[in-house]
Structure formats: structure tokens, C-alpha cells
Amino acid sequence: MIIELDMQSDVPIYTQLVHQIIEGIASGRLKPGEPLPSVRNLASDIGVNLHTVNKAYTLLKQDGYIQVHRQKGVVVHPEGMPPVTEDFLNKQLEELRPIVAEAICRGMTKDDLLKTVEHIYLKITQTRKE
Amino acid sequence: MIIELDMQSDVPIYTQLVHQIIEGIASGRLKPGEPLPSVRNLASDIGVNLHTVNKAYTLLKQDGYIQVHRQKGVVVHPEGMPPVTEDFLNKQLEELRPIVAEAICRGMTKDDLLKTVEHIYLKITQTRKE
């Protein structure tokens, strides 16, 4: 899997890493049980600090996306993904609100916004079937 | 307008401020031309650093949501909101992608996700009509 980081972005590098790994799983490019690079290797490959990769892996582990084995190393969680919980739905709501509010301010219609979300959903899941 | 900040959140305070003012405008609670507190007053009211408020106002001004007059002070932009630009749509896409990817990982259906976005859209715009 190719990790692309935007060093100019306001989004912290560890967050970008978390997002890319989650998108990799969502798209099926990263399969359950698939090994991920060690903290050290990934940090060295993409030229970032060990702590940055460590923070990303810690968050992914906390949420149940990956497992960190002392021997097997880091793998995409082999027994399926975390479910839709109330905490997750609340977090999702808080993340979506400012995006929706900005769309409204700029006069984007509800239908155009829904089409955009649908397009992204289909684009990510489309890779799964290829 | 009441500003509610979450000091425990990973979202920086200046970003929370930007989000709340944009949501205030989207919901119609903040009207075009309406005055906003000065940097100094807002910082003191909500107990944050002057620089934090300054950063939020600078971003809102850059995007065209507010105007900063030397005499009139800070006001919601009186001549309408910034339009849907290509830059905005790209930014929106980048913001939505990780949220959609996470929903897919957790097995949330496209329809459920679209319903959530629609619900937020209607909830924000509903205040306008009250």
C-alpha cells in the first residue's frame, strides 16, 4: 500500500496516516490479517518521526482496526472491523456537522451534498470489486 | 450567540471557533452584517488566548465569511457568503473521505450514511425557518 502524505496540510501527519490506513481497509486494498510495516520501517519509509507512526498505530489499535502482536508485528485486525457504536455515531456527527454547515453557507443544495457523499462511498467501495 | 468549546477535544480551539461561527451563519442565527465580538472580548468571554480568536477570525476573513473593519469591528459578511468553488469542493472531498471510509469499515450502509448527512443538513437549516 502506498502512503501519500501532504506535509503542507493542516491535518497532522498521524491523522493522515490513520485516515489512509482506514481508507485502505475500506477499499479492500488492506485485507483482514494483512501485515503492516513495523513502526520503525514505516517511519523510515515515509520519512517521519517514530512517535508519529506510533501515535497513528496506537489510535488504530484502540479503535480495533489493527492488532499489534509482539511476535507477528502489526496486522489489520483479522476478526473484522469495529462495529457502529453510539460513540462512533456521535463522533461521526461531530465530524460531519462543520462540513455540512459550510456547504449550507456556500449555498450547496442538500441533493448536491448527498451526491458528493454517495460518490465518495461508491468510489471507495468500487476498488473492492476490481 | 453562545459559543461552546470542548477543551478535551482533539479539534484545536481555533477550529472549533471557526466551525461554530460557520454553523451560526448556516443556521441563520448569525445574519449578514451582524456584529461579532472583538477579538479581545471574545477571548475574554470564552477564556482563551487572544491569538486563538485571532487565528479563527483570520481564517473566517480569508474565506469570506466575516469582514474586519477598523471602525465597525468584526461583522458577518454583509454581501453574502463565499460561493462553491473548485478549491472548496476539493477541500470538502478531502474532509469527507476519511469519514466515509470509516463508515464503510464499520459496515454502515450507504443509505444510513446519506440519511445521517441529510438529517444534519435539515437540522441546521431548520433553525432558519423557526
**Each residue's pLDDT tens digit, A85-96:** 999 999 999 999
Taking a C-beta distance cutoff of 8 angstroms, is the pair A39, A21 a contact? no
Residue B92 lies in a domain: yes
Residue A7 lies in a domain: no
Alpha helices in A27-109 (DSSP H): 39-46, 50-62, 86-105
Answer yes or no: do B63 and B110 share one domain: no
Q: CATH no. for residue B31?
A: 1.10.10.10
Q: Which residue has the cell 445521517?
A: B116
**Each residue's pLDDT tens digit, A45-88:** 999 999 999 999 999 999 999 999 888 899 999 988 999 999 99
Answer yes or no: do B52 and B70 share one domain: yes
Q: Which residues of chain B lie closer than 8 angstroms to A100, CB-CB?
A: 26, 117, 120-121, 124
**Cβ separation B81–A106 shorter than 8 A:** yes
User: pTM higher than 0.95, yes or no?
Assistant: no
Residue B8 lies in a domain: no
Give me the pLDDT at residue A130, please: 57
Answer yes or no: do B67 and B118 share one domain: no
Answer yes or no: do A52 and A24 share one domain: yes
Answer yes or no: do A101 and A55 share one domain: no
Residue A3 lies in a domain: no
**Cβ separation A100–B107 shorter than 8 A:** no
Taking a C-beta distance cutoff of 8 angstroms, is the pair B67, B75 a contact? yes
Q: Which residues of chain B lie closer than 8 angstroms to A107, CB-CB?
A: 81, 83-84
C-alpha–C-alpha distance, residues B80 and B77, integer Å: 6
Here the cell at position B24 is: 451560526
Residue A6 lies in a domain: no
**Each residue's pLDDT tens digit, B53-75:** 999 999 999 999 999 988 889 99
Alpha helices in chain B (DSSP H): 13-26, 39-46, 50-62, 86-105, 110-129
Domain count, chain A: 2
- H/E run at residue A80: none
Give me the pLDDT at residue A80, please: 84
Answer yes or no: do B25 and B68 share one domain: yes
Give me the pLDDT at residue B10, please: 81
End-to-end CA distance of chain A: 16
Answer yes or no: do A55 and A20 share one domain: yes
Answer yes or no: do B27 and B53 share one domain: yes
Would the ipTM clear 0.85, i.e. be above it?
yes
Give me the pLDDT at residue B26, please: 96
Residue B1 lies in a domain: no
Q: How confident is the model at residue A3 (pLDDT cuts 50, 70, 90)?
A: confident
Residue A115 is part of which domain span?
Answer: 86-129
